Amino acid sequence: MRATVFLCLCLLVSLTLTLNQSISHRDAINISTIQPLPIRSTIGYQIHSWDDLREWTQALKKGARWFKLDFNWPFNSTSLLDRDVCMVQENLSAEEKDDTRGCILLTHNDPIVSRTNYNTSNNVLELISDPEYRHWFAGRERIYIAVCFKLLDNTDICGNSQFISSWLSLLDDFFARARKVIDEQSLNVEFIVDGAGTAGGDRGCLADRWSPLVSTWISHRDPMEALHSNEKDKGYNSFQIMNLKVDDNDPEKYLKPMAEVDYGKFSQQNTYPYLMWEPDRQNVGELYERKGLAQAAGFKFAINFDIAHFQVFSANLSGGAWNVPVPSENSGKILAYTGPEGDVRIITSSTTNQTTHLILHRSDHLYAKLDEISRHVIPMGRIVSMVTIEEETKRKIFLSDDRGRLSEYHLRGDKVKLEKSWRSGGNLGVQAITVQDITVYYEMSKDGNTTECGILLERIHPGRKSNDSVCVSVEAFDHVSFSLSLPDANDSSCPSNHIIISIISSHHGRLSLSFECVDPLIPLHSFSSSSPIGIGSQPEVSTLRYNGQNHLMIVVTDGHCSNDLRKNTDANVAVCDVMPTSELHVLNYYYGTMESWLRHVRGNGGLINSCHKAIMFGSYDMGSDPAVSLFQVGEEVAVVTSHTGWNYDEEEEKKNHCGLPKRREGGVIDSWPLPTIS
């Protein structure tokens, strides 16, 4: 196959009302009506090389509106068309396989003949015209798709060879078909040309080939005069998007010179954002805070990792998420709820040197400044579960510890008062829920009295002995967490006066999930077998009933980074087909409605990744000891998580590929906007 050095021709697809709307953007834009914005309001992202289109359902639900795809034309090292790769592709029609010009496959690196399931350029048009996705691709909000065409470096694009003519002919046909789809289905499409397709260098023959499309401008490759000029005769008027690279050795190398000239003509418009590719460290975003010039269209970082990961990393810059270090040596459990004034209240726990603290935090609203308002030493061991029940005049907090103690605290403002405490066997956690005005309690414990059962689940009456228990697992899990919830309003499989018990466990790095519908007023009899859902350790679960529907989130550490530069660019296997392997300190989230979870588990749906259509999955940070709490803020579902930060050494830093956080020694509270999944 060919060498690994490429030129890229990238096309950004913006879904707007008509293709012809882009014509006016080739002209300089008057800035008299542009209002300055704070830097934090302009930060955004572009999804980089998600060439497996099965991932796009989650990406769109998570809020992605800028994408980058790789359009690869298979040819060999002697610059001859390699049709063998095209002939075996299952996503190509018979007519496309017979095309003597070859085919366009979606892959960053060279396609190989042993892989037969690459997506194709035609699959992109099928996706944007699919009725299932119409509310995104024909909606009011613009969606951009960057399509990067691969060619060997030093290819003579303007040489009129049969070789290049075939490639250009394929692109011309793609644009023609795309325009037809756009016109017939009223999609808003604006193609933006990048890289080897621009009028820079010796590529002048392409200046008007796809007019009226605009181009990106790359500072270290394209004409420097185009930074300030829109001279039409030289094709400079097509350059309307600044696209900068992050240099690994000097991150400010390309950004600083642009800042010194106020980003040239690119700051004189508010239609297109600045782009920067491809940071993988949390501190890179701070470069723009120091060197940026805010404009309404924003500044988007091309990212390889998950959207939640970026939102957490950029939280302190954007103000659109939380990534808050807290003064504790380690992270315990977390609980969040809305206060009486609509403010956000968060309770965390931390145990150090046999002393356990309960810490109260407050924020005026979600993602505003988070303050610690009080800290309390409590007579308990390490907290293993935390649950709250709100009553008319007070809020009850039930805490259980690893010593088998259950305590009820009452919370008023920043004051915490111990009401009562009991001995229990629930050294793995206690949960409580109110059903028909009756509060019921369940505890989970390791069975130390028999070898017949590893994990026991028991309905308890605090302060009284109970023999109402059921064996959840013969094996003793490495870690287990459970949650109680009322059935969905439309759940015909579980009566409304019952509860659903959700149990997530890890054993030797494998995650398993089980559900059981139980009548809380009668003894437990049995529990369903668990179903594997992923990999990781220290899993924690939280459920929330919202508008009659339950939402469930699981967080784990030592999980799997489904999207990073290596996986996104690997031509050997599609991202959705990668067999996950544990990656140290990677924090994963799984998020879906209870209905989706039940359907998946009962149908033995297997391991969940970023390609699942209903259950969201991804990485959100790096660390250990995760905890999670779903809660309602106004008319939205929100999440807060806590974990112990990662104080990595130099060798660990070199091995990281999933997005490197800032070094942290203590606890960290994270939160990010959740997708609409109901």
C-alpha gyration radius of the chain: 27
- Label residues 92-130 b or e (16+ Cβ within 10 Å = b): beeebeebebbbbbbbbbbbeeebeebbbbbbbbebbbe
C-alpha span between 244 and 78 (Å, rounded): 32
What is the pLDDT, as a whole number, of residue 25?
44
What is the pLDDT, as a whole number, of residue 467?
60
Strands 105-106 and 469-473: unpaired
- Label residues 164-198 b or e (16+ Cβ within 10 Å = b): bebbbebbeebbeebeebbeeeebbbbbbbbbbbb
- For 96-121, give the DSSP string: HHT-TT---EE-SSPP-TT-----BH
- For 261-324, give the DSSP string: TTTGGGGG-SSS-EEEE---BGGGHHHHHHH----TT-EEEEESS-HHHHHHHTHHHHSSSEEE
Tell me the sheet residues that pair with 147. Answer: 11, 69
CB 238 within 8 A of CB 274: no
* Tokens standing for residue 654: 């070199």
In this structure, is the dihedral angle defined by the CA atoms of residues 309, 313, 319 and 324, taken in order, positive or negative?
A: positive
* CA 665 to the chain's CA centroid: 24
In this structure, is the dihedral angle defined by the CA atoms of residues 47, 311, 596 and 501, taken in order, positive or negative?
A: positive
DSSP H or E stretch at residue 249: none
What is the pLDDT, as a whole number, of residue 118?
98
Per-residue model confidence as pLDDT tens digits over 262-281: 899 998 888 899 998 888 88
What is the pLDDT, as a whole number, of residue 317?
86
- Which are the contacts of 272, defined by CB distance < 8 A and separation ≥ 6? 25, 192, 214, 240, 241, 266, 297
Q: With a cut of 70, which residues of the chain have pLDDT below it?
A: 1-39, 76-80, 152-153, 285, 447-451, 462-467, 678
What is the pLDDT, as a whole number, of residue 279?
83
What is the pLDDT, as a whole number, of residue 465?
60
What is the pLDDT, as a whole number, of residue 295?
76
Strands 239-245 and 274-277: parallel
- Which are the contacts of 306, defined by CB distance < 8 A and separation ≥ 6? 62, 561, 562, 563, 610, 618, 619, 620
Q: Which residue stretches of 158-295 are H helix? A: 162-185, 255-260, 285-291
What is the pLDDT, as a whole number, of residue 107?
95
Q: Which of 238, 262, 259, 287 is nearest to 34 (CA)?
A: 262
What count of residues does the chain have?
678
Which amino acid would we find at residue 383? I
Classified by CATH at the fold level, domain 322-671 comes out as: Neuraminidase (2.120.10)
Each domain of the chain, given as residue ranges in start order, spans: 6-303, 322-671
- For 410-465, give the DSSP string: EEETTEEEEEEEEE-S-TTEEEEEEETTEEEEEEEEE-SS-SS-SEEEEEEBTTB-
Strand order in the sheet with 667-671: 322-326, 667-671, 636-644, 624-633
* CA 151 to the chain's CA centroid: 31
3-state secondary structure of 15: coil
